[in-house]
Structure 1
Amino acid sequence: MTLIDETSTIPAGGPTLEQVRRIVTELPGPRSAAILARKAEAVAAGVAHSMPVSVVAAGGGVVLDADGNSLIDLGSGIAVTSVGNAHPKVAAAVAAQAAQFTHTCFMVSPYESYVDVAEALNRLTPGDFAKKTALFNSGAEAVENAIKIARKHTGRQAVVAFDHGYHGRTNLTMALTAKSMPYKAGFGPFAPEVYRVPGSYPYRDGLTGAEAATRAITLIEKQIGADSLAAVIIEPIQGEGGFIVPADGFLDAVVAWCRDNGVVFIADEVQTGFARTGSMFASEIFGIEPDLITTAKGIAAGLPLAGVTGRAEIMDAAHAGGLGGTYGGNPIACAAALAAIDAFENDGLIERAQQIGALLTERLGAIRENDPRLGDIRGHGAMIAVEFVDAETGAPDAALTSAVAKACVAEGVIILTCGTFGNVIRFLPPLSIGDDLLNEGIDVLAAALERA
């Protein structure tokens, strides 16, 4: 491994791998192919993968595979390694904690790092009011517990989620998730008392935020009833649904209606949290203060950790022993989270996310000027997406999206697709990536688009 050049603009605490794209074999190479063959024999078929590689190292803006191929990382493990893979602060904190103790179960023998993480989340999340936090293992687990807390607090049962939303793969979170394949197909029946209404999708519905909110609220009132509703849950920017940014005024109106009717408003910031959107939390972009916020992914730089943070009186609704779990708030994960939060706050990563967003938007916008197949470019910070469409009809073009993504992968660029219609490519680079790699990744995409 070679150290990066001292002139790099990557924030402090960056990578130790050489920051280049280098393809020395076809993908997969022979070593990766052998490991993937073993995977096919040993791992359940439902656990799929999109990249034909086996990873041995990662850092900055690159991922290194078993054959020596160095790939540009535009996915961050689906928005997890936002501070960069193997970030020095995180690696050191994890090693130090592992040498002290690895587990006691916080519900049996508490420890300070759990409290430190809770205090940090209470401080960082939007809202100038008393807050409390509970820690869990995954985003789906955080969402489930947020629903539990809201139901206990209100004494009501019903929950509203939105079209195109994604909230997880457990039974309750599958019920909340909109898209059937691959997340829900054949896995029902799902948890009851979950209802879905249309949200705001400006590119497709053409509605203002106020109009979209009126549509959603009318359906809630007529088909469910506010008196039966415990919570409304939404991703401020919908992730797996296609990085859908709601029209201005939509979230404000929904939050106001929830306040007026005693309904808990839950912001699912599992993918949007921790500097990803150029703000610490996407809720800040829209000027809203959720009652509860769920977090995971970027919180601990790759270690399994999640949280529910919110108004103290709501969080305290659950009885003693009603919240928890054997591994929730594991001490090693908490150590990683504290180091990652230090990096988010002190290493200029929020500003770096804004710079990445500006670069991606400018480059993709220039491509769209000459190619109407790029129907929409949207997002905030280092969470940008392109929706691909038929140039004549504007219909979603999943085939083009898949072809472009596969071509990029073959050239050593990790690209992720998403969207209800399978026609969106999303960009979630680590905030430690350099501009040269970002530009090279877009160059590869542009060439793939020309050939498609």
Structure 2
Amino acid sequence: MVARYPLLATDVPGPASAALHARRTKAVSAAVGTGLPVYIEEASGALLRDVDGNELIDFASGIAVTSVGNGAPRVVSGVREQVERFTHTCFMVTAYEPYVEVCERLNELTPGRHDKRSALFNSGAEAVENAVKIARYATGRDTVVAFDHAYHGRTNLTMALTAKSMPYKSGFGPFAGEIHRVPMAYPYRWPTGPQGCAEEAFEGFVAQVRAQVGEQNTAAVILEPIQGEGGFIVPAAGFVARVARWCRENGIVFIADEIQTGFCRTGDWFACEHEGVVPDLITTGKAIAGGLPLAAVTGRAELMDAVHTGGLGGTYGGNPVACAAALGAIETMRVEHLATRAAELGEILRSRLVALAEKYDAIGDVRGRGLMQAVELVSDRDAKTPDAATTAAVNQACHRAGLLTLTCGTYGNVVRFLPPLVITEELLDRGISIFESALGEVAGT
């Protein structure tokens, strides 16, 4: 019965969504964007039903949030039970067990067997901010090193860490200081080619930090094991491990931003595990709570406990309902072996995308891990000329056909695939076929 999906009762968006969008225009700031202006009334697993009765295939997961699918039973049950008990007290005022239990799970699951502590927050950006606070406090140093193509959030400090100007930074400065940016080991676009990328990028990284900042002045290096908004860039093999080792040798805190990559998305619980990297601090969010707002910093006990009492926290951080959702989501990932499932379905996704790259010259690169994969579209394969216009057109064609996809990338030329980890193989195959049709419609054969 999967062949009937997506089930389109109207054009996408339909008249009911259009009417709601007219209301939105009068009520919601125009600065808040929406990739596809359909209005969802119900969702289950990897399917979204809008107010017009259209049932769309979800290849976005709310930007890697609903990895266990919408309406996951353990998440729903946990939330319902917690809401009936109490909804909030503020952990800084009176504590409660779900907060402690989530921290225990994070300490167990994140890479490394060392003694760990965790603290809970509301959003990924808030987690990154607090990781930087911890690193600066613990080291007594100021500078934080971030990478080209990085995305770490929309607050003032995290905008400073983020590389891309539009739409994230333009017009919002001045930004927080003592941020230093270095090149990323981006194999597809490395000037001398992918073969020497890891070594050359690492040597350049060390030389630039040493000359322009000084190791003794560097509090932290923050890195996404796979860059998200920057284009699903998988750093050249060995690069992340070299950076982490160099940080350890120089007393610098290595922060892994796993907000988009974490919780089984890449085929392991955390993307760092693909190269055996153990970060000093790891930031998590998005998929942690199955759709409710929650984020965390987990790290070495001596770092996490270095900050004075009261130095970390927030009114809603670790809200009990969100914690209950997180416990349900984590248990779902464990019981349903979603890391293994992401790896298995990721092989299917990759093989299909590689086949499309052999067929369509518009695909310059296929990359990613597990169910976090992408294609970079170009107008000239030899010159690797970014093609943002074709990317936008393909994305729109997918939407019209009932497949919810997302774009990303510094140059706006990457289509990314983030289906829920519980998606069926048949529905995944159907979604890829829709993408192929959209690509053929826009880019030709």
Q: Give the TM-score normalised by the residue count of structure 1.
A: 0.95
Q: Secondary structure at the match of 1:390?
A: strand
Structure 1 residue 110 and structure 2 residue 108: aligned? no
Residue matched to 2:330: 341
CA contact (8 A) 1:19 1:61 kept: no
Give the Cα separation in 1 of the matches to 2:344 and 2:91: 39
Structure 1 residue 160 and structure 2 residue 145: aligned? yes
CA contact (8 A) 2:123 2:294 kept: yes
Q: Which of 222, 242, 258 pairs up with 2:211?
A: 222
Residue matched to 1:407: 397
Give the Cα separation in 2 of the matches to 1:355 and 1:248: 21
Residue matched to 1:78: 63
Alpha-carbon RMSD: 1.2
Give the Cα separation in 2 of the matches to 1:155 and 1:209: 30
Q: For residue 60 of structure 2, what is the amino acid of its counterpart? A: G
Q: For residue 27 of structure 1, what is the amino acid of its counterpart? A: V
Give the Cα separation in 2 of the matches to 1:391 and 1:258: 38
Q: Secondary structure at the match of 1:266?
A: strand
CA contact (8 A) 1:398 1:422 kept: yes
Compared CA separation, residues 412 and 44, structure 1 to 2 (3 A): same
Structure 1: 5+ residue stretches without partners: 9-17
CA contact (8 A) 2:68 2:421 kept: yes
Q: For residue 52 of structure 1, what is the amino acid of its counterpart? A: P
Q: Deviations over 1:201-234 (max 9, x none)?
A: 0010024312211111110111010111100001
Structure 1 residue 301 and structure 2 residue 286: aligned? no
Q: Deviations over 1:304-325 (max 9, x none)?
A: 0000000000001110000000
Q: Secondary structure at the match of 1:152?
A: helix
Q: For residue 290 of structure 2, what is the amino acid of its counterpart? A: A
Residue matched to 1:24: 9
Aligned pairs for 1:55-66 within 5 A: 55-66=40-51
Q: Secondary structure at the match of 2:311?
A: coil
Q: CA deviation at 1:371?
A: 1.4
Q: Secondary structure at the match of 1:239?
A: coil
Task: Tell me the matched-pair count.
Answer: 437
Residue matched to 2:438: 448
Residue matched to 2:353: 364
Residue matched to 2:174: 189
Give the Cα separation in 1 of the matches to 2:274 and 2:81: 36
- After TM superposition, the structure 1 stretch with the greater mean CA deviation from structure 2, 235-244 or 347-356, is 347-356
Q: Secondary structure at the match of 2:82?
A: helix
Give the Cα separation in 2 of the matches to 1:377 and 1:434: 22
Q: Secondary structure at the match of 2:56?
A: strand
Give the Cα separation in 2 of the matches to 1:420 and 1:264: 26
Give the Cα separation in 2 of the matches to 1:451 and 1:249: 39
Give the Cα separation in 1 of the matches to 2:356 and 2:95: 54
Residue matched to 2:255: 266
CA contact (8 A) 1:19 1:60 kept: no
Q: CA deviation at 1:19?
A: 8.2
Q: Deviations over 1:329-364 (max 9, x none)?
A: 000000000010101111121111012211111111
Residue matched to 1:11: none
Q: Secondary structure at the match of 2:20?
A: helix
Residue matched to 2:75: 90
CA contact (8 A) 1:57 1:63 kept: yes
Percent identity over paired residues = 59
Q: For residue 149 of structure 1, what is the amino acid of its counterpart? A: I
Give the Cα separation in 2 of the matches to 1:142 and 1:398: 31
Compared CA separation, residues 19 and 193, structure 1 to 2 (3 A): farther
Give the Cα separation in 2 of the matches to 1:272 and 1:394: 26
Residue matched to 1:250: 239
Compared CA separation, residues 362 and 96, structure 1 to 2 (3 A): same
Give the Cα separation in 1 of the matches to 2:19 and 2:224: 39
CA contact (8 A) 1:81 1:298 kept: yes
Give the Cα separation in 2 of the matches to 1:105 and 1:374: 49
Q: CA deviation at 1:85?
A: 0.5
Give the Cα separation in 1 of the matches to 2:250 and 2:299: 18
Q: CA deviation at 1:52?
A: 2.1
CA contact (8 A) 1:213 1:254 kept: yes
Q: Deviations over 1:169-210 (max 9, x none)?
A: 000000000000000000000000011000110010024312
Structure 1 residue 420 and structure 2 residue 410: aligned? yes
Residue matched to 1:12: none
Q: Deviations over 1:130-173 (max 9, x none)?
A: 00000000000000000000000000010000000000000000
Q: Deviations over 1:357-412 (max 9, x none)?
A: 11111111111112121111010000000001123532111111111001000111
Q: CA deviation at 1:440?
A: 1.4
Q: Secondary structure at the match of 2:423?
A: coil
Give the Cα separation in 1 of the matches to 2:137 and 2:37: 45
CA contact (8 A) 2:185 2:198 kept: yes
CA contact (8 A) 1:267 1:293 kept: yes
